[in-house]
Each structure stands twice: as C-alpha cells, then as structure tokens.
Structure 1
Amino acid sequence: MIVDNRVDGDSRVQKVARSAAEAGWDVTLLGRSPHDVEVTWRLGAAEVRLLPVPDPLDRRRHEFRRSWLRWPLAYRPGGIADYRAHQVRGWQADLTVEAALLEQRARAGDLDGARLRRARRRLRLRSTAARLLARWVWLRTRMMHRVRSGRRFRNPWDRAYTLFWQAVRRDRAWRRLEPGLWDYELAYGPELDRLRPDLIHAHDFRMLGVGARAKIRAAAQGRRVALVWDAHEFLPGLRPWRDHARWLPAHRAHEREYAPHADAVVTVSADLAELLRREHRLPELPSVVLNAPAVEHRPAGAGPPPDVRVECGLGADVPLLVYSGAAAPQRGLTTLVDALPRLPGVHLALVVDPARRHVEELADRAGKLGVADRLHVLPYVKHWQVVPFLAGADVGIIPIHHWPNHEIALITKFFEYAHARLPVVVSDVRTMAATVRETGQGEVFTAGDVTDLVRAVTAVLADPARYRAAYDRPGLLAGWTWAAQAEVLDRVYRRLLPATTDDAIPAPAEGAIR
C-alpha cells in the first residue's frame, strides 16, 4: 500500500492496512516521512514505513532566478540571504559583548573621560552601521521572497503555457506543469521494485502513477502485479491545493494517463463511483468502501479511551457541540464560531490539528466575539478511539460548504457521529442532507448561514432523545461498520489474485474479517 502522507491522522489508510493484515495478507504500507529519515512502526499486523521524499522538483523555475527588472535588489536564490542575515546577527552579538566589556572597564576606572567618550562614540557608530546593514539585508530578503511568492500562475502567460503543453502533450502534460509528482516516484518507486508485491493498493490520485509505473516495470520483468486504485475524492471537484492554474489540469492529466492501468477501483460512495466510471470510461463500476469507523481495531489490553467532555473540563449538564476532522475555511468552522454568541451556555469542541493556521484564526475570532472560554481545541485521537471519544458530546456538527466533493459522499465524521449515537447538524450538501432527512438523525441548515445553524442546533438540543432514537432503526448502523467494508475490499483483492488460495494465506486471527 502506498499513500502520499504520514499515515498518522489518515483513518481510512490505517483501517485498510490493518484490516487487510488481519485477513491474512502480508501488508507493507509506504507513506511519506515528515523528516529526512525513514520511520518504521507497526499498525496491527501491518508494517508501516515512512520514506523520506526530497522535493527539489516541486520548486518552480522562477524560484531559481532573480527578477532584475521588478526586484533589482533581491538576493539571488541559493541561501545567500540566510547567510547575510546570520552574519549581521553575529556582528550585532559581538557589539553587545564589546559594549558590556567597555562598561566594565569604565566602572573599573581603566579609561579616562576622553578615551571613554571616544570608545562609546565609535561603538555607537558601529552599532548604527550594523542596524542599517540589518535593515538592508531585510529589504533584499523581502524582495527575494516577493520574487518567489509573487507568482500565482494565473496571469495570461501562465495560462498560455498551460494550454500549450496540454495541446502538445495531452495527458503527458503534467510532466511540465507539475514535475513535483516525480519526487514521489523517485522515493517510492525503488522500494516498490525491491518489495516485489503481488498487489499494489494506491491511495488517491498522486499514488496512482507511482503504482502504475511499478506495475509496468514488473510486467517487463515477467511478473504480474495487480493494481488497486483507491479514489478518496473526485479530482475535478477538488479545491486546488495550490493557488495556481496549473495544479488541477496537471493532476487531472496524470490521473487520466494512469487510470487505465488500474485492475480495480474502489472509492468512498456510490455517487463518486459513477462519476469515476464516466470520467475515465472504466469497464466496471468501482466498488464502494465507505469511510465507516473501525471500533473493532481497539488493541488488546488498551486502556479506556479519553472522553471529549472530560478533556474540555465540562460537567455532564453543559451543552457540548463537537466537530472532528480537518480544519480549513471550506469546512465551515467560521460559521460555527460565529454561532456561539447566539447559543448562550453552549460549548464547542474542535478535534483538529491544533498547529493549523486556520485553527489559530478561529481562536482569535472566538476571542474577539467574547466566547473564547467556550471554544475548546483538542488534538486528534487514535482512529479506534474516535467513536467513544466523541460519544460524550451532545451534538455532532458538519458545517461544510458547497464543493463538488462535499456533495457526493457520506464523509468519515458522519459515520463516526452516528456510531457515537450523536444527533447531527449538517449543512445542506446533497448526500448528507438527504440522508439526515431520511433517517431523522438530526437537522439540516443552509451552509454558511449562522442564523439557520443556530436554529438547527437549538432544535436538536431541545429534544436530543428524538434524534438519537433514529439509530434504533434495524440495520442502520450495521451497514455503516468497517467490518462490512473490509469484506468488500478483501473480495476485490481475491478476485484480482485468483491463484491465491486459502492455503497460501495464513488464517486470520480470531474475530478478524475475511
């Protein structure tokens, strides 16, 4: 299995790897190390290896050049700016020590009045020169950064560049438009060749090409490798991760080039499966593996999971809303914070990555609104702890905005809230809103509308038992379990490797999914 992140925090990747290993498959999961050294650990019976991924190709040509006309004073790239900045700081540190020594000599009476005044005057002149030089270095460094960050790849030249390479190279255009994709190949490719897998499970669009090329190389050596592409999202409906016009066309071209090499496609929803079949003219509809929680992955002997209410320091009678997942503007968290002043006494727990800049912005906003004491930012917990962790809250919130990928799936937190038996309040994105209206497990509000969000939350808090009763419906939660999804995935693997018999695969552990 291959994924372009560090695995920790990606519950789908963790669940897939662990379930496959429990079913008897020999699983090695390759992810991206956040450092320049390899990190290895175990995920149940699966081996996780995080590989260093140097990214020199992820830099653009303009980052290596100077802009003589617009920014003539900018430092050239290559590290000279940092060198000059540290050089000035070293000089200033030296002058500070000289000033201290001069004052010591003055107190000891080693210098007469005239000599002391001259020494102090010279020191002041040198200190002034150092400050001016520091300012000069700062100015040139700032210009250098403007050269690097000023290009947004949305001007007519860049659009023409993108269209030219699309016309000339078609689906191979990503090699010019997004050469950083090769960085993943250079890091993962040799390891895949060394491991000689029978099956490659490629998570999401970046890893599709890495897996396909490994399959092609293996075929040239006379080895058959089956490729499973796990499409987490619909790429044409994705908000670009970078603010330039080349990102989405490049990744779509990359996906189109390598999608035909996939022996099977799995994805997260029926709607997305149909979109993928049309987009890539797939011979069959992708299998659906929902992002359901895996409470059965709790390690043997593990202690009790944490409780969200305890972590917030709240009593049982305090109304508590919870949001669990990524923190980004399109997730609608600003709407949540803005609603707090109109929900007196109600607290909000954000289970997110606290280091994200958007989380800091939300905390600042809460402070300005006078509700900072009712906003609690909590770090992620292990994926098998999520459901019991969230169960202590009163309402699960999903305030996401209208983006194509938000419209077509029941996302991970939806299932986690359901298994925690939380009433939910969701924005009116198509699939989730329709499900909530059909099951009666919560309320729907207009995305981005603070007033309507307040209305929905107030209604749920007024009668939570009515909404929790929806989970008593026979078969509802049973279809939203990871155990059922793992069976789908195992059937896909066994169909692709028909020569693999039960005798060739060790029997799974007791209670594991086959």
Structure 2
Amino acid sequence: MRVLQMIFSRNFRGAERHVADLANGQAGRHDLLLLLRADHEEDGASIMRALDPAVPVRLVRPSLLGWDSWRAARAFRPDVVHSHGGRAGKVAGAWLRRWPRLATMHLDYRPAWYRRQDALVAPTGWQAEDARAKGFTGSIHRLDLWVKPALPLTPGQVAALRAELGAGPGTALLGAVGALIPVKGFDTLVQAFRRLPGDHLRLALVGQGPQRAELESLAQGDPRIRFAGFRDDAASLYQAFDLFAFPSREEPFGLVALEALDAGLPVVATDTKGARATLGPGGLVPPGDVDALTSALAARLSQSLTKHRPDLSRWSMERHLVGLDEVYQGLRRSD
C-alpha cells in the first residue's frame, strides 16, 4: 500500500518521535513517503536524526505547505494520507481531499485540524470521547501507542552515564525527560527537589526548550541539579536513573512514563490524562502543587528503589502497525 505520512511541526518532541518510529516501522511493509517542512529543525533537534535511511523524505516549503503537499501527493499517488498535528491536518483536509485521509490525535480534538478527515486514530479513550463529543462524524479507531524496549546497557555504561549526570556510587538519581516548556511542569519539579534534604540526591533534567533559562535560575545555588540538554541517547539514560518524575501540568499521553517503566523505574507523576492512561489513576499528585510533589518524592525516596519492569506487551509497536493496516484497508475500500 502507498502511504503518505505528514507532519509539519518545527521541533522534535513526542509527536515527532512517534512519527519517526512509525515511519521506520512502516518502511518495510508499505511504499512510504514522509513529508516534512523544510525548516523542521529547532535548537539542533531534528526528526531526520531519528529516521531510518530507508524512509523516503520530501521537504516542503513552509510558505507553500499546501501547494507542495498537493504536488507531492499527485506524483506519489497514495492509497491513504496519514497526517499528524495541526498544520498537517489542515493541509490534508484542504488540499488533499482527493485521497482517503486519516489523522492521529496527539492532543485533544480540534475541529480546525480534524473535521475534514475521514478517520481518526485516538491513542487514548479520552481522546476518542473528546472527538465524538465535539462532533466528529467519521470513524474513530482506538489504537494504543507503543514503547520501544531499550537495548540493555552494561554496568560500565550505566556507571559512565551516571557519572556524566553527576551521580556516583551511593547517590540516588532522579530523572525527568521532556521539552523544557511550562506545560511539562519542570519548574514545579525543581522547586520540589530543592526542598529535599540530602547530599546523596541528584536531579537530571533531559531536554531542551525555551524555559531553560528560567529553570536554571530556579536551580541556581543547588549543585545537585544537572541540565543535560537534548540527547539523542535519551532512551538509554533511563537506565542510569533510580527514580523518574513525570510532573506535567497537562499531558495527552506520556510516552516518557512508558519508557521509564521499560527501564524498571518507579515513577512519581502528576494527575494528568496521559498519566492516567499509562500509569493508572492511583498515587498521582495534583499538577503544579510543589508541596504535594515534594511529599510524594520524599515518600518514594524513603522506600526501596529496586527496579522492576512490568508487563508492557499491551504497548506493542507491532500491534499498532497491524491495527493501522486494518484502518488503511478500510479507508481504501470505502474510497
């Protein structure tokens, strides 16, 4: 099947990681083309670095997203157009109506993005309910996202990563991964961590973003806090952590929580829709509440930090790819 994937964002965060993994997985099972905007790279982070060389990519001009996308689709002749995010969703709905159109929801349902799609993929139940409640009349398909099991590191590699993050023997390393933007709640995390006593504690924030200077100001004077910046090896860093924090104010899904579970880490999380979807409703703390997060971290750090990997078979990429193939076939038959 000929599949045209589209994402027109200018960063490399959760949705972009999803599209990179998806394109890599589909490259061997479909005739694939991925459309990206030419200026997709931001702060040195680029989806291209996560793509397999087997994934064909075409760059479109930011000022001519619709026109260039239509020309690419006309030449490629897709059986289905699969868009991700607001810009791509709007372009597909306005310019590519000749072909069956599907969009994956990475946030909530927004009519301007999705109303002209023939079908939606909802990674969580709340997103499916949101789309239907807000009037979407096409088909909605509930497909869980996935976590890619990380390759196990040797003890020496783990020790080296811990040392790089300022954690030696006898220290407890708390980690957090994500874009440094207000919605991720890292300001709450930094303030909560600073209230925890103990020279044996360390906090590593992995990610880049416009809030970094503000967070560094909040962390000033506490040498236990380390800013690691954007890392291509972020998936491996979980194995260096002892505890994971997921402090978002809002989160539609939360892949980082699954990656932490894959590394066997205990997780302290705020009560967001994404945390409920991936971790369940128990033990979550109110978003933005420094006191509550401080108490939750202190309580978890007082317990054993032994690692245990739960059963994550539900979050299988192969299951998602098979489910998508069925959705594609249905769209193709109904065209």
% of aligned pairs identical?
A: 25
Partner of 1:32: 37
Match of 1:313 among 166, 173, 181: 166
Partner of 1:172: none
Partner of 2:269: 426
Match of 2:19 among 6, 13, 27: 13
Does structure 2 retain, via aligned residues, the 8 Å contact 1:307–1:390?
A: no
How far apart are 1:29 and its partner, in Å? 0.8
Q: Are 2:290 and 1:447 aligned?
A: no
Partner of 1:339: 192
Which structure 2 segments of 5+ residues have no match?
42-46, 152-156
Match of 1:456 among 296, 301, 320: 296
How far apart are 1:444 and its partner, in Å? 2.4
Partner of 1:229: 103
**Deviation by residue 1:220-240 (Cα, 9 ceiling, x = unmatched):** xxxxx221111211145xxxx
| C-alpha distance 479-207 of structure 1, shift in aligned 2 (>3 A) | same
- Spell out the pairing of 1:337-376 with structure 2 (5 A cutoff): 337-343=190-196, 344-345=198-199, 346-353=201-208, 356-367=209-220, 370-371=221-222, 373-376=223-226
- Structure 1 CA distance for aligned equivalents of residues 70 and 163 of structure 2: 45
Query: Residue 31 of structure 1 aligns to which amino acid in structure 2?
Result: L
Partner of 1:397: 245
Match of 1:493 among 320, 328, 331: 328
- Spell out the pairing of 1:267-282 with structure 2 (5 A cutoff): 267-282=122-137
- Spell out the pairing of 1:69-218 with structure 2 (5 A cutoff): 183-216=64-97, 218=98
Aligned pair count reads 315
What is the SS of the residue equivalent to 1:414? helix
How far apart are 1:15 and its partner, in Å? 1.2
- Structure 2 CA distance for aligned equivalents of residues 2 and 434 of structure 1: 26
Normalising by structure 1, report the TM-score.
0.55
Match of 2:236 among 367, 374, 388: 388
Structure ranking higher in strand proportion: 2
| C-alpha distance 40-426 of structure 1, shift in aligned 2 (>3 A) | closer
Does structure 2 retain, via aligned residues, the 8 Å contact 1:394–1:461?
A: no
Query: Residue 320 of structure 2 aligns to which amino acid in structure 1?
Result: Q
Does structure 2 retain, via aligned residues, the 8 Å contact 1:29–1:47?
A: yes
Partner of 2:180: 327
Partner of 1:101: none
Query: Residue 228 of structure 2 aligns to which amino acid in structure 1?
Result: L
Structure ranking higher in helix proportion: 1
How far apart are 1:208 and its partner, in Å? 1.7
- Structure 2 CA distance for aligned equivalents of residues 196 and 226 of structure 1: 11
What is the SS of the residue equivalent to 1:282? coil
| C-alpha distance 43-388 of structure 1, shift in aligned 2 (>3 A) | same
Q: Are 2:253 and 1:410 aligned?
A: yes
What is the SS of the residue equivalent to 1:46? coil
- Structure 2 CA distance for aligned equivalents of residues 488 and 209 of structure 1: 24
Partner of 2:60: 51
What is the SS of the residue equivalent to 1:478? coil
Query: Residue 45 of structure 1 aligns to which amino acid in structure 2?
Result: A
Partner of 2:154: none
| C-alpha distance 12-464 of structure 1, shift in aligned 2 (>3 A) | farther
Does structure 2 retain, via aligned residues, the 8 Å contact 1:35–1:52?
A: no
- Structure 1 CA distance for aligned equivalents of residues 122 and 33 of structure 2: 21
Q: Are 2:309 and 1:479 aligned?
A: no
When the two chains are superposed, the root-mean-square deviation of aligned CA atoms in Å is 3.0
How far apart are 1:305 and its partner, in Å? 9.5
What is the SS of the residue equivalent to 2:190? helix
| C-alpha distance 40-341 of structure 1, shift in aligned 2 (>3 A) | closer
- Give the greater-gyration-radius structure (CA): 1
Query: Residue 314 of structure 2 aligns to which amino acid in structure 1?
Result: G
Partner of 1:293: 147
| C-alpha distance 50-18 of structure 1, shift in aligned 2 (>3 A) | same
How far apart are 1:454 and its partner, in Å? 1.6
What is the SS of the residue equivalent to 1:280? coil
| C-alpha distance 464-267 of structure 1, shift in aligned 2 (>3 A) | farther
Does structure 2 retain, via aligned residues, the 8 Å contact 1:193–1:214?
A: no
